[in-house]
Structure 1
Amino acid sequence: MAAFSRIVAMALAVAAGAAAAQAAEPTRVIEIIVGASPGGGFDRTARAIERVLEDGIVGQPINVINQPGAGGAVGLASMNRHPGDMHYISITSPNILTDELRGTSPMTFEALTPIATLVSEYLCFAVHADSDLETAADLVAALKEKPEAIRFGFATTPGNHNHVAFAQLAGAVGFDVMKPKTVIFKGASEAVTALLGRHIDFSIAPAASFAEYVRSGDVKCLAVSAPERLGGALSDVPTWTELGYDVVYGPFRGVIGPQGMEPEQIAFWEDALQKMAATDAWKKEVAENYWTENVKGHDETMTFLATERDRLRASLTDLGLLQ
């Protein structure tokens, strides 16, 4: 009888384990909460993920919800109100690290559940097509000779990836990063509009934000912060490295979940995102958005985020945003 009881107990344990594994799949609508307005890097990433995952990978519908504010912190906080619920995910970037370092958000990546890193998104240093700043050399000269006369605009928060890239350029070129007149916009589309209207002299944003305007002849991209030239409409644009300046930086884009996710839930999303990254549809999204593939799973992403936080601490100090 005791042996029979042990067998029954083992069978129940196996069944419970199978049920738990089965439970680690979405059973209803998935929400990707985007902490930024439509049109920017966060939003483009979320909508690309939505399109590819819905095509037979996750088996449930996906909604993209825009909740802009505080450089993405509002969206992350909203997602984190669903602890342990795999139906809520968000897009992450260096903002989660810079906000923590600056003390503008109590959110840390350790308090959430980083799932994967997907791409790097390199940046375009752009001016209006009719600007007197015709080349990267012209921009460098203007920033060195009279930086206070330059109106620089970017989105969305002090210390974000666009601002950090500006600090890298200042360090490489040798100008005071605090002297240009700096305007910070709520979204990338607003920064682009300001550049088109000549309300600012130059801007830094992800390459995809400017590509269509480069193609139409309304904007000139003087240089990109990528290690190699980008393709498409930007194929003729030099890298800063080509021009002799050590400016290589682009925000990572990844997927993060709320606090308290179970290992089985993390494994589901890791597997789904790896399958997504291997599809032709995703590779097309990567090319069209001027991204560079940078796929990492949960464990590697945790290590990467800790290392990146240390690197950003130095950049924010250069910008005068940390003591």
Structure 2
Amino acid sequence: MSQFDLANTRQRDRATLRQSMGRREWIAGVAAAAGTVALPYHRVAAESSDDKGYIDAHVHVWTPDTKTYPLDHRYDVSAMQPPSFTPKQLLQLAEPLGVSRIVLIQMSFYGFDNSYMLDAIANHPGRFSGVAVIDPNDHPVETMKSLKAKGVRGFRIVSGKSDPDTWLSGEGMKKMWACAADESMAICPLINPEYLPSVDKMCQRYPETAVVIDHFARIGIDGSVHARDLDALCRLAEHRHTHVKTSAFYALGKKAAPYTDLGAMIHRLAHAYGSDRLMWATDCPYQVQAGHTYHDSLDLIRFKLDFLTERDRSWMLRKTAEKVFFA
């Protein structure tokens, strides 16, 4: 994911989780994940909160065709694990469970070249929205407007190992936040909890900018949900355009289905933000590796958390992502 993904720390976490699956193992894993669907498609779809289907707000896709879509100079094919995760492979997992639309997140393998994601959006009209990665120091406003016309609705920013006090201080980054507000697009930080105060300051400076925090700000990646981190994430709820992705369950807390140990954190966030500012996502293909399944991720929100009302589920499983990424 790129930044659970672009960041070096994320790549170490992934290496552990994916257990070095080869191509044959990956194909078998996809088949096994698809095989977990216990109900026929029409019945699963009927159980969704409305007839428009669910939205998975965070997925990465890539292709083994590195001639047509070259990798960024920082990567080679050995980094592509699994070797392939195309829109076709993705939809084979998502559609049988009633997921009708998906937000694609630019994959770090491609750097600032968003071509593969953009082609996926163009080739599946109405099915995908996009979150791009751009160079904040290379005409960011012009680039953002151009990508908006091609189906992009958000821009991923990654802290990496930057100084928490200065990583958002550049002029290009300021232009991105201002443009996002002007163009009704979102800034999507992939960060660890120690970067939340810096995002808070930017939200104060750009109060009309929509912000979507990826993967609970990685709270729980070490196995424990620390109160100070959750407090910091909840403080961002004071800014009315901030949102949180309840996602990447495979990588957080106990890192084991049914993921109900994350329920207390979701309950706290639902109270702070309201369900209309939370959105569910899988972070595929990583959600369907190492014994984890697409089905289990979706079912945590659909069935496993009794405190969520039907209205809550409707917002988390479709309406919030629709508002931010498909409007």
- Report the TM-score when normalising by structure 2: 0.30
Greater strand share, structure number: 1
- Asked which structure has the greater CA Rg, the reply is 1
- Report the TM-score when normalising by structure 1: 0.30
